Structure 1
Amino acid sequence: MEEAPLGVLCLDSSFTKPLGHLRNPDTFRHPIRYEVLQGIDIPRLLHAPGDELGALLVDRARRLEREGVCAIAGSCGFMARYQERVAAAVTVPVVLSSLTLLPWLASVHGGTGRIGVLTADSGALKRAHFVGAGWQGPLPVVQGLEDGDEFRQVILEGRRDDLDLAAMAQELAQATRRLKAQAPLDAVVLECTDLSAFVEVVRREAGCPVYDIVPALELILRSAAGRQQSAPDPLVTG
């Protein structure tokens, strides 16, 4: 039986999506259905969120569900503020942001202050995003990428589409060192889906486990895909 695809709610962007990125279909061994939100770019989501955008995400999530996806993801961690609303509107699992990992990781790693977050823009990441992702405690330590020339020009401002992978890796390494300097870390969460392709850079610099949306979705897909298959015959012993 053909596998039901993963549905991804995507911002309107055209820069390079390297292997490991959520929007590179070769990242997953699973069919993907991308739903691009035309005209909704990164600046709009970061700096002008609102009920209208939330309603659009709900509408497109319901469309993806009607088309038969097994789960729904978001292409930007800042969609976290709409996590609860979208998840309540459909019956399939929804992971709009890697920030949804934080409550679980606080239990796994035994505390809140030792989990760091690398984000696209530290000034734009508000408590509402953490609360939307199910987080109720003190905010984790946060470090943004907004001061990196390559990240800012290509991703935050959309001035170029040709992402320099080496420059991006260097900026991410610097940001990780700044994050680590703020507090001892037991784990790092990559809020920004554009960082998933560089997880090994972060892991090397942070010296601790690093979590991003891709393996979180792989866990969801293994569970959701299992529901698509017929249950095996029970093992009879005796």
Structure 2
Amino acid sequence: MGNGYSSVRKTSDIKKTYHVPDCRYVSGHSIGIIAVDLKYPKLPGNVVNATTYDFPVLYKKVEFQIEQLFEGDAKLKDTIIAAAKELEKEGVRAVVGACGFFANFQKDVADALEIPAFLSSMVQLPMIKTGLKSGKKIGIITASGNDITDKMLRDMGVTPEDCYIEDIGSVEGFKTIRYEYPYLDNESVAQTIVQAAKNLVEQHDDVGAILLECSDIPPYAYMVQDEVGLPVFDFITLINWAHHATTQKPYFGYF
């Protein structure tokens, strides 16, 4: 099959002989995830909790200060590209990052690989915008509002005027994640995120959807949706989309 894809789909396939030009020590993971080495509890639903997924994923750890990633420090470029290439070599079919601020390196990594790279939850912004009624905007809940620049939004395919930014990085209730505490104040984090969503819709009546930038926030996506009644996009909607696009399966049923 093209692009190195090979699959076993039905009983008759077991009888085939497979010749794989680039055999690896492990296989079957569609998504590779670049994860910064951060030490704090990570709930199911977090990008770097493997139980979040109904399919195998492969992680690659990178080591630098998260603030460098927020700021788009150019010194990180080679490290991030190297991690992405290692994941590609191990046979993943798409690469993502475990922080929305990998958006700073989206083009660099996409240009360096032969497989797709969807490094940030924010690559979904143009698709969300396309689906919304004219005049509706996207509310972004983020761990570092000051670092979502106009340039970043334009690089992601939208304009600053398309979005409202709600920063939770400096909110007291989010500090156990933001500053790598060895424990998680789950109730406080949940309240902080839900309140951020409420702030967006109360202050802006033209919000049509919510995007959760941070890879730590998806465990609370259902709470946000329960509270504001809007579509909620996050890293997991992105990763599920990329997985299904790269591992299409036959349909069974009747007609």
TM-score by length of 1: 0.87
Report the identity percentage: 26
The residue number in structure 2 matching 1:57 is 80
The residue number in structure 2 matching 1:44 is 68
Q: 1:157 aligns with which of 161, 169, 179?
A: 179
Instruction: Report deviation, 1:102.
Output: 0.8
Instruction: Report deviation, 1:139.
Output: 4.4
Contact in 1 for aligned 2:103/2:156 (Cα 8 Å): yes
Contact in 2 for aligned 1:150/1:163 (Cα 8 Å): no
Moved over 3 A (4+): none
Give the residue type in structure 2 aligned to 1:216: L
Contact in 2 for aligned 1:190/1:212 (Cα 8 Å): yes
Contiguous gaps of at least 5 residues in structure 2: 1-7, 9-26
Q: CA RMSD in A?
A: 2.0
2:123 equivalent to 1:100: yes
The residue number in structure 2 matching 1:25 is 50
Give the residue type in structure 2 aligned to 1:188: I
Paired with 1:95 and 1:198, the residues of 2 have a C-alpha distance of 22
Contact in 2 for aligned 1:186/1:208 (Cα 8 Å): yes
Give the residue type in structure 2 aligned to 1:12: D
The residue number in structure 2 matching 1:220 is 242
Instruction: Report deviation, 1:41.
Output: 3.0
2:89 equivalent to 1:66: yes
Name the SS for the 2:60 alignment partner: strand
The residue number in structure 1 matching 2:34 is 9
The residue number in structure 2 matching 1:85 is 108
Contact in 1 for aligned 2:29/2:58 (Cα 8 Å): no
Paired with 1:114 and 1:215, the residues of 2 have a C-alpha distance of 19
Contact in 1 for aligned 2:137/2:162 (Cα 8 Å): no
Name the SS for the 1:123 alignment partner: helix
Distance 1:171 1:164, change over 3 A: same
Paired with 1:150 and 1:75, the residues of 2 have a C-alpha distance of 21
The residue number in structure 1 matching 2:213 is 191
Instruction: Report deviation, 1:209.
Output: 0.8
Paired with 1:6 and 1:122, the residues of 2 have a C-alpha distance of 28
Paired with 1:59 and 1:34, the residues of 2 have a C-alpha distance of 13
The residue number in structure 2 matching 1:235 is none
Paired with 2:127 and 2:133, the residues of 1 have a C-alpha distance of 10
Greater mean alpha carbon deviation, residues 120-129 or residues 59-68: 120-129
Give the residue type in structure 2 aligned to 1:11: V
Contact in 2 for aligned 1:81/1:128 (Cα 8 Å): no
Name the SS for the 2:161 alignment partner: coil
Paired with 2:144 and 2:238, the residues of 1 have a C-alpha distance of 22
More relative contact order, 1 or 2 (CA 8 Å, 6+ apart)? 1
Deviations along 1:156-213, one digit per CA (max 9) or x if unpaired, are 222x121111111111111111112231211001111111110011112222111111
Deviations along 1:75-131, one digit per CA (max 9) or x if unpaired, are 000111211111111121211111111111111113465211111121222123223
Paired with 1:22 and 1:109, the residues of 2 have a C-alpha distance of 26
Contact in 2 for aligned 1:6/1:70 (Cα 8 Å): yes
Contiguous gaps of at least 5 residues in structure 1: 233-238
Deviations along 1:123-153, one digit per CA (max 9) or x if unpaired, are 222123223323346240110112322312x
TM-score by length of 2: 0.82
